[in-house]
Amino acid sequence: MVKSKSLTFLASESSGEVSALFLRPPAAKWLLVFGHGAGAGMHHPFMEAVSHRLADARIATFRYQFPYMEKKSGRPDPQPILLATVRSAVAAAGQVGGSLPMIAGGKSMGGRMTSLAASMEPLSGVRGLVFFGFPLHPPGKPGTERAKHLSAVTVPMLFLQGTRDKLADLTLLSPICTTLPLAALKVVEGADHSFHMAKSSGTSDDAALGMLVQAVNDWAAVL
């Protein structure tokens, strides 16, 4: 098994350095700059599992911490710091990845912050964005406010969503995706926001993970 390389980079002048993990498989063809969700950092089992499964598909990953997680704080940083960290992570990934073409995104909040950053100014070298559970709204509070910026993103986007995701009502997200000419939506039947599968689905969490990686691989192949 290929091992991750531990790195650090400057997230922003005010927040200092943060940690990152660079996993590059032999004959890598893409590099995903991969941000974590609000409640768990880059070492979360889901982040770890996705990164290694992507490596099997010859997709390298650059996982990174947001400053609040680096400091073991439970409260996410102010949005300007989160956005600055996304940009710094893309720049750092580009340096270690060399000529590898890049995609960027993340789990939940990490993906949304990436899209927000990209909507304000294109992320240098990034050819597409991928969201592992886009957090369209808070649990139990359906809404579309968090999607307004997506029309300003200028690169293709892949939304990976479960039918049991309480942070993304598909009756709201699906129509949004149809109005975005650069968006693709992959629905995982029976998966929740963390891509845990309902027992009644007859599909294992591992199989769902395989679906996610295959979807990323197929999508990236035509960028």
Task: Report if pTM > 0.75.
Answer: yes
How many domains are contained in the chain?
A: 1
The whole-number pLDDT of residue 129 equals 98
The whole-number pLDDT of residue 74 equals 85
**DSSP summary character for residue 42:** T
Torsion over CA: 44, 50, 55, 56 (sign): positive
| 3 state DSSP class of 103 | strand
- Give the H/E segment covering residue 80: helix 79-97
- Domain containing 10 equals 5-220
CATH number for 101:
3.40.50.1820
Backbone angles phi, psi at 9, to 5 degrees: -155, 160
Class of residue 11 by CB neighbours under 10 A (exposed 0-12, middle 13-18, buried 19+):
buried
User: Residue-wise pLDDT tens for the chain (223 aa)?
Assistant: 789 999 999 999 999 999 999 999 999 999 999 999 999 999 999 999 999 999 999 999 999 999 999 999 989 999 999 999 999 999 999 999 999 999 999 999 999 999 999 999 999 999 999 999 999 999 999 999 999 999 999 999 999 999 999 999 999 999 999 999 999 999 999 999 999 999 999 999 999 999 999 999 999 999 9
Helices (H), the chain: 45-56, 67-70, 79-97, 109-120, 170-179, 205-220
Backbone angles phi, psi at 210, to 5 degrees: -60, -35
Pairing of β 59-64 and β 30-35: parallel
